[in-house]
Amino acid sequence: MRFIPLHTTNTAIVYKNSLCSFASLIVLAFIALSVMIPVLLVSLLSPYSGISESRVLYEQPNVEFSYQYIFVGTAEEDGEQELAVACSSFSDFNAQMGGYTNSCSATRYWTEDVDYDTVTDRAHFQLELQDPARLVSFNLLVFFEAQLQHKCDLSPPSVLAHQLQIPLAARLNNGHIQLKGELQLKQYVEFTCPFPGRNIKTQFRQVHIDTNASTADIGQYKMESLLAQVKANPAYFQLSVQETYYRPTPPRLEPGLVVELELDVLQVPARYHLSIWERLGQFWLYFASFFGISFYIMNKLKDFLFGRHILRSWEIIPWKKLY
């Protein structure tokens, strides 16, 4: 009996398979299916899995006052509404309106930073009118510059307009009219920002006003004309008035009429067009989860077919090759 082996030999067995055999084609088909099935599932389920061409991001715009405004008020005389006061920051408009600008005395603007993050959270615009007629209605337009900076610098036009019809009981000669509203984003199409491979960014047409006194038309200052320019853009900011307050004051203490706009600058939802890299990142995230399951099932099915000898392959076993 031999207890200690003095010499051993090893036999190397190499398994080979024909390249174009039926078994090889079946294995290649399983590999292709393990890849194609996840791709098909991700494509079919993309509307429900979160893969899309756009994304909604909430951002607080950076707002600055352009120190431009237009105010036009009407009063009722003999049952008809007539122009009573008109004032603005545009000298050509004031020159053409003549005596209607005498009631405008002063304007004020200030901001509030509620959370101390150096971004304006609330803006106030105030217009003081001295000895105005009892206003029936007025149009107010305030020009701002608002910028979105989350993915790239975007500056949609921001002309905040409001038309107020004053109730009969609230028509004041002396008092305070306060409008409380918020800044809203009106968006028609997704914003596009530059990314590697494509240098395209959404462009906006800003409001143009001809200030040349010799060629300027008074019609360009109308609310309809200015808002038509604003709306001819992929997106723009607008004013949404939530509350209106009327407060009479004694003429001796506060003579005149004060019109104030209190604007809340909140986070607005903005739709962005996803770049090809962002969509690929989303695709691979969902593809990896489906691919793991698909690859496991295909391997189990392949092992079952070969283990039960449903599929067979011929082999070359060089059993006499020694090392």
Strand partners, 162: 140
Instruction: List CB contacts of 86: < 8 A, sequence separation 6 or more.
Output: 71, 72, 73, 93, 94, 97, 100, 101
pLDDT score, position 14:
45
Question: What pLDDT shows up at residue 45?
Answer: 66
- CB contact at 8 A, 172 and 134: yes
Pick the closest to residue 273 from 197, 194, 206 (CA basis). Answer: 194
Identify the three-state secondary structure at position 8. Answer: coil
What pLDDT is stored for residue 66 in this prediction?
92
User: How do residues 72-81 score in pLDDT, each as one tens digit?
Assistant: 998 877 667 7
3-state secondary structure of 56: strand
Q: What is the pLDDT of residue 10?
A: 54
Residue with tokens 């008092």: 175
Question: What is residue 70's three-state secondary structure?
Answer: strand
Q: What is this structure's pTM? A: 0.73
**Residue spans of alpha helices (H) in 207-263:** 223-231
Beta carbons of 172 and 253 less than 8 angstroms apart: no
- The partner residues of 56 in beta bridges, in order of sequence, read 271
Q: Give the bridge partners for 81, in sequence order.
A: 76
In three-state secondary structure terms, 321 is coil
- Nearest residue to 106 (alpha-carbon basis) of 218, 257, 262, 261: 257
Average pLDDT, consecutive stretches of 10 residues, N- to C-terminus, the chain (323 residues): 49 49 77 82 62 80 94 79 85 84 86 91 93 85 94 93 90 90 94 84 90 73 93 95 91 84 95 76 71 83 74 56 44
Q: What is the pLDDT of residues 180-209, one digit of tens each?
A: 999 999 999 999 888 887 788 999 998 988
